[in-house]
């Protein structure tokens, strides 16, 4: 497909899918929060558990938020394991158990104590002059996991695509009917890295966007650079549409 036709195709996909509640995507859970302190914490938790079947993801995160009365900031900031672990009892999701969720909450709590917000943690190494967000991405993940990688957050040094973490940053930085953009005043959408999983890898290969066999961080960066040919200021805007391409049976892939 020629560049002009491919840009038209991708732009039409964006227009089709960027409408609010156009799918059961986990991002819509975030739209139930209005306070930015809740949004950034809820967003990280939702993104960390965004693997597997979408209905199971939504069921799990809704169960958790119901248990904490839909107050993720207040719960996380004041979390005491001895007193509050009962609220996490039997909160299992696929590969992760209640201990993993407790570790994630404690990691976020530590970040809040040290930086006051997850936004400030990310901004610690963010540099507008850098071509992308690799440095703050790595710092952000390691600060919360404390080098204890337990699947929910990636080890950037292992060259994974860090799909769910990049998706979280998309939610925080971009602003439209889908993404909430609460960090957009400090972080440019042009610096984001495309969230890549095996589905996005397959679709982008079919479209001829990237010629690379390994599905890794280098692939994600190459795909992002290619998408900048179509929108240099906001290449990751195509993520939501590409995620649903292939699921939508009106397209043959």
Q: What is the pLDDT of residues 112-139, one digit of tens each?
A: 999 999 999 999 999 999 989 999 999 9
Give a yes or no: residue 210 inside a domain: yes
Give a yes or no: residue 251 inside a domain: no
**What residues form DSSP beta bridges with 96?**
93
Structural domain that includes position 184: 3-244
pLDDT at 102: 93
pLDDT at 244: 79
Q: What is the DSSP string of 151-195?
A: SSS--GGGT---HHHHHHHHHHH-BSSS-B-TTTTTS-GGG----
Give a yes or no: residue 249 inside a domain: no
Instruction: Give the mean pLDDT of 80-108.
Output: 93
Give a yes or no: residue 250 inside a domain: no
pLDDT at 153: 92
Number of domains in the chain: 1
Instruction: Give the mean pLDDT of 134-159.
Output: 85
Instruction: Give the mean pLDDT of 98-124.
Output: 96
Closest CA to 47 of 149, 160, 151, 191: 151
Does the structure show a pLDDT above 70 at 246? no
**What residues form DSSP beta bridges with 175?**
180
**In angstroms, how far is CA 123 from the centroid of its own chain?**
17
Give a yes or no: residue 31 inside a domain: yes
Confidence of residue 252 (pLDDT cuts 50, 70, 90): low
Do 238 and 227 touch, CB atoms closer than 8 A? yes
pLDDT at 148: 64
> With a threshold of 0.85, does the pTM exceed it?
yes
Does the structure show a pLDDT above 90 at 20? no
């Amino acid at each position: 497909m020629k560049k002009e036709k491919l840009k038209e195709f991708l732009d039409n996909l964006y227009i089709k899918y960027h409408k609010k509640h156009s799918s059961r995507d986990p991002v819509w859970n975030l739209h139930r929060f209005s306070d930015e302190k809740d949004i950034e914490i809820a967003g990280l938790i939702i993104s960390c558990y965004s693997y597997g079947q979408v209905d199971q993801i939504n069921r799990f995160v809704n169960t958790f938020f119901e248990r904490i009365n839909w107050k993720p900031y207040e719960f996380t900031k004041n979390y005491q394991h001895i007193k509050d672990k009962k609220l996490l009892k039997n909160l299992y999701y696929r590969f992760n158990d209640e201990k993993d969720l407790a570790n994630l909450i404690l990691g976020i709590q530590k970040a809040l104590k040290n930086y006051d917000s997850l936004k400030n943690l990310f901004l610690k190494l963010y540099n507008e002059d850098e071509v992308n967000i690799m440095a703050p991405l790595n710092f952000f993940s390691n600060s919360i996991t404390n080098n204890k990688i337990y699947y929910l957050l990636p080890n950037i040094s292992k060259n994974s695509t860090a799909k769910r973490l990049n998706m979280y940053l998309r939610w925080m930085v971009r602003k439209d009917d889908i993404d909430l953009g609460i960090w957009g005043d400090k972080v440019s959408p042009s610096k984001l890295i495309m969230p890549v999983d095996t589905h996005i890898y397959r679709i982008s290969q079919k479209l001829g966007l990237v010629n690379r066999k390994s599905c890794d961080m280098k692939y994600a960066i190459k795909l992002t650079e290619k998408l900048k040919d179509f929108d240099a200021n906001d290449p990751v805007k195509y993520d939501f549409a590409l995620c649903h391409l292939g699921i939508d049976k009106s397209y043959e892939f």
